[in-house]
Amino acid sequence: MARHDAKALDRRFARIRACGNSISVRGACWVVNHPVRMIPERPRVSSMWTRQLHGLFLAQDWRPAARPSAWTAMALRQKGVKMCRWLAYSGSPILIQEALYEGPNSLVAQSLQSRLGAEPTNGDGFGVGWYGAPDTPGVFHSTEPAWNDSNLRELAGHISSGLFFTHIRAAIGSAVQQTNCHPFRHGRWLFMHNGYINEFATIKRDLVLAIDPSLYPQIGGQADTEVLFYLALTLGLEDDPPVAVEQAIGLVEAVADRHGVPHPFQGTIATTDGESIWAFRYSSERNSRSLFYTTDVPTLRRLYPGRQLFQDVSDNARLIVSEPLGDVAGVWNEVPESTWGIVGPDRAELRPFQPKAPSTPVPVRA
Residue 362 lies in a domain: no
| Number of domains composing the chain | 2
Q: What is the pLDDT of residues 297-317, one digit of tens each?
A: 999 999 989 877 677 778 999
Residue 59 lies in a domain: yes
SS3 104: coil
What's residue 328's pLDDT? Answer: 81
Q: Are residues 57 and 9 in the same domain?
A: no
What's residue 17's pLDDT? Answer: 38
Higher pLDDT, 326 or 244: 244
Q: Are residues 64 and 15 in the same domain?
A: no
pLDDT at 118 > cutoff 50: no
Distances (CA, A) of 140 to 146, 179, 181, 224, 342: 12, 11, 9, 20, 25
Q: What is the pLDDT of residues 210-265, one digit of tens each?
A: 999 999 999 999 899 999 999 999 999 999 999 999 999 999 999 999 999 999 99
Q: Exposed, middle or buried, 52 (CB in 10 Å: 0-12/13-18/19+)?
A: buried
Q: Are residues 150 and 222 in the same domain?
A: yes
CB 219 within 8 A of CB 204: no
Q: Are residues 84 and 172 in the same domain?
A: yes
Q: Are residues 236 and 141 in the same domain?
A: yes
Distances (CA, A) of 81 to 70, 135, 239: 14, 37, 34
Maximum mean pLDDT: which of 40-49, 146-155, 293-302, 357-366: 293-302
What's residue 193's pLDDT? Answer: 94
CATH of the domain at 193: 3.60.20.10
Residue 360 lies in a domain: no
Residue 365 lies in a domain: no
**Would you place residue 4 in the very low, low, confident or very high pLDDT band (cuts 50, 70, 90)?**
very low
Q: Are residues 114 and 23 in the same domain?
A: no
* CA distance linking residue 242 with residue 232, whole number of Å: 9
* Phi then psi dihedrals of residue 332, to 5 deg: -100, 135
Q: Are residues 30 and 52 in the same domain?
A: no
Maximum mean pLDDT: which of 117-126, 148-157, 173-182, 249-258: 249-258
Q: Are residues 75 and 7 in the same domain?
A: no
Q: Are residues 16 and 64 in the same domain?
A: no
Residue 363 lies in a domain: no
* CA distance linking residue 77 with residue 102, whole number of Å: 27
Q: Are residues 5 and 23 in the same domain?
A: yes
What's the domain range around 337? 42-352
CA-angle at 64, arms to 63 and 70, nearest 5°: 160
Lowest mean pLDDT among 69-73, 92-96, 153-157: 69-73
Residue 93 lies in a domain: yes
**Per-residue DSSP letter, 6:** H
Residue 316 lies in a domain: yes
pLDDT at 276 > cutoff 90: yes
Helices 224-234 and 241-259: crossing angle in degrees, nearest 10, is 120
